[in-house]
Chain A
């Protein structure tokens, strides 16, 4: 994603002319809605959130300062914290890479010389925009051990039923499958990137005797790595914050096997009213996300291709 540079970014001069001073005021006035929002709804809450994370706060009384006790407790004595961390990493580390790979392969399939591309693309994309609540309702029903269509089919074949969302072993992989089902937006992004790959490169590769496999690995993949990087970062950030689908699909069960980080955070905040603990969890999540993003960016020098510039 190249951010276009604004035209006429001027060399810095210490003194401003009358016109420039007027522009300065106009510019600030135009962005002031965002700036006020940033100060009141992002920066101030961010600072408050850190403060709350150092307190015990149940919304009824005033926040009581307790230093780093919330963090300490989470890491050492909280019964759920490490389970939730494990579940979240399981979900993210399995879901995001597999989701990206599947989306990329589907995009390649759609990019081939086929008729009805727009129709196929729409079909793959629609699940991504259907309200999560609706999608969750049908998946819960579809995968139900007693009434679900899939198990109904298995029963009629006299095969054993599969407790998709109701067994501790299968619930997480099932969530990952549903996550992949909703990756249509990534498919569309990848398809757009694929269509930007110059045809001449493939022709040149053909002349050099490359087969389809070579072309995929040596032309398609390298040229798409910037988009893959961008999508993966957004994918990781999004998956770490996943709430709605798992909340509706399993509610964290069975036996907390699908309780993801943010679900637990929400529960602590609005069910237990432990605002201090919830804030501490939010800051831990922020650190995890920032570290993850930085690592991905740092690693990108090794595998992302930026059109020959190094």
Chain B
């Protein structure tokens, strides 16, 4: 940002916006330093809880309780991660989280949302505007309103304590992703699908061969966010899963915390709690670092939250 008195003629002003030619004044330099200082301070504040999670995970009990708090623990107990993981059946929980919950939900959501979005974007039919508006409107519907009846329905189906109530609804698509994919499909030129139609391609053929290859960035957003939401989901499993053998990771951490709270400060309670939290948060952070662009695009386009 260029500030203060600029006596130069208009063209040079335009240039300074792109490449600063003149040297910065003292005031500008101070502002710049101030901005960096503020950003660094903010970054430390924002990261500190996560840092604290990781360092506590490698401490022992006496290091946890020391006053003043130890910022750089020594020794670093890397064994804590394996010990904490073994304290409850976290292997099973990880299996549940990935293979019984997140993956099926991602696949079903993707397939159904792609089909529905195609119907909203690429097929011309009467009433699609109305139905699309209805689809958008359901995004605003608070889940609490349907929570009790859905619970009753799934209970009558005998689905309590299974992943079915969490997975089966994905067959019907997800309004967020239908919306996002539809917006994306609209940017694909109509001529492409029209040409394929002339050559006798079916609508599914067009979706599969023409639209899909072009929609990879949007598909990446769906896969990433849907996986993340399932991985992070706490409430759904809390409502539907009672038996510990069914728990996904989020519930298993909660289970560990409940034990710690009810039995008081048992040995290694905090390091272990932080160790499993770290291990469950880590894949998310790594995924973000690898697929940063997809994440940022996903949020910027649709305002999706994490």
Contacts and interface: CB of A to CB of B under 8 A. Distances in A.
Range, interface on chain A: 35 or more
B49 A181 contact: yes
Nearest to A238: B305
B69 A38 contact: no
A140 B258 CA distance: 13
Nearest to A275: B148
A156 B292 contact: no
29 contacts: A1-B303, A6-B121, A6-B124, A6-B128, A9-B124, A23-B124, A28-B119, A29-B119, A30-B118, A37-B169, A59-B152, A114-B36, A126-B46, A129-B228, A130-B50, A130-B284, A131-B284, A133-B277, A135-B49, A137-B253, A137-B274, A140-B257, A152-B69, A181-B46, A192-B300, A207-B10, A207-B13, A278-B148, A281-B144
Interface string B172-195: 110100100001001100100000
Contacts of A74: none
Nearest to B168: A41
* 4 smallest beta-carbon distances between A and B, as pairs: A37-B172, A30-B119, A27-B125, A129-B306
Interface stretch (B75-83, B215-223, B231-239): B231-239
Size class of the contact patch on chain B: 35 or more
Contacts of A49: 145-149
B23 interface: no
B95 interface: no
B25 interface: no
A130 B145 contact: no
B250 A131 contact: yes
Nearest to B257: A137
A16 B126 CA distance: 10
Given A23-B123, A37-B172, 9 more contacts: A37-B171, A109-B38, A120-B39, A125-B295, A126-B47, A139-B49, A156-B67, A199-B17, A237-B142
A131 B148 contact: no
Q: Is the interface of B mostly helix, strand, loop or mixed?
A: helix
Interface in B1-44: 1-4, 6, 10, 13-14, 17, 32, 35-36, 38-39, 42-43
A44 interface: yes
B214 interface: no
Given A126-B50, A130-B284, A24 B144 contact: no
Interface in A243-290: 243-244, 248, 262, 265-266, 269-270, 275, 278-279, 281-283, 285-286, 289
Contacts of A45: 145-146, 149-150, 153
A156 B68 contact: yes
Interface string A49-62: 10010000001000
Q: Which of B47, B125, B136, B187: most chain A Cβ within 10 A?
A: B125
B35 A34 contact: no
B190 A141 contact: no
A173 interface: no
Interface string B130-160: 0100111010111111111111110100000
A167 interface: no
Given A8-B124, A27-B128, A30-B203, A130 B52 contact: no
Contacts of A23: 123-125
A184 B151 CA distance: 32
A65 interface: no
A48 interface: yes
Given A49-B146, A130-B285, A185 B134 contact: no
A189 B297 CA distance: 9
Nearest to A183: B305
B274 A141 contact: yes
A308 interface: no
A206 B9 CA distance: 12
Contacts of B305: 128, 185, 234, 238
A101 B144 CA distance: 28
Given A122-B288, A269-B151, A24 B126 contact: yes
A295 interface: no
A48 B131 contact: no
Contact of B123 (A26, A106, A132, A134): A26
Contact of A211 (B3, B124, B128, B169): B3
A34 B53 CA distance: 41
